[in-house]
Amino acid sequence: MSQVVSKIAKIVEDTCKSENNIYGFSAWTHHIQSVVAFSKKLAKKKQADVEVAVLAALLHDYAQISDSKLYSEHHVHSARLARELLENYKYPEQKISQVEHCILSHRGSREIPRETIEAEILASADSMAHFDNLDALFSLAFKVKKWKQAKAESL
C-alpha cells in the first residue's frame, strides 16, 4: 500500500469511529473494507489503476460518515472532500480527477455516466459489498434510516 493510501485509510477508519458517524463502526468493518477488497480484486483482474480504485473505494461514502446530513448528495460531497484530502497530500492532479469521477458516479440511483474502468469498478464493488453484507444493508435501511420498504428500494 502506498503512503497516501495508508494515510487516507487511517482518516476514513478514524472518521468511522467518531461520534458524528451515525452508521457506527460497521460502516468501516462491514462496508468500506469490503468495497476496498472487491475494488482491489476487480482492478487487478481488469488491469485498471489499483491505487485509484482503492482510494475511490475508501472515500466513496466519506461525506455521510463525516456528517449524515450530507447523505442525499453524498456522491458530490464525498468527491469534493476526496479532492481536498488528496490535494493536501500533493497527490497528482490527474489521479485526483480519476478518483473524483469514480466517487461522483458510484450511485446506482443517480444517472451519472461512468467514463472509466475504475468508475465501473467502484460501482460494482459497492453493490458486491452490499450483497456480501446484507445484514448491514438492512440495518442501514431499516434501523439507521428507519425507512419503509419503498424508500429502501431506492438506496
CB-based contacts of 64: which residues, under 8 Å, 6+ apart?
A: 23, 70, 71, 74, 77, 78
Nearer to Fe ion, 35 or 96 (CB): 35
Residues at the contact surface with Fe ion, assessed by CB under 5 A: 61, 126
Describe the crossing of helices 50-59 and 33-45 by its angle, rounded to 10 degrees. Answer: 160
**Cα–Cα distance measured from residue 25 to residue 18, given in angstroms and rounded to the nearest whole number:** 8
Question: How near is the Cβ of 148 to Fe ion at its closest, in Å?
Answer: 20
**Closest approach of Cβ 61 to Fe ion, in Å?**
4
Of residues 90 and 147, the one with the C-beta less far from Fe ion:
147
CB of 35 to Fe ion, least distance (A): 6
Nearer CB in complex with Fe ion: 4/12? 12
Burial pattern 34-49, b for ≥16 Cβ within 10 A else e, equals: bbbbbbbebbeeeebb
Select 51 or 61, whichever has its Cβ closest to Fe ion. 61
Shortest CB 103 distance to Fe ion, Å = 8
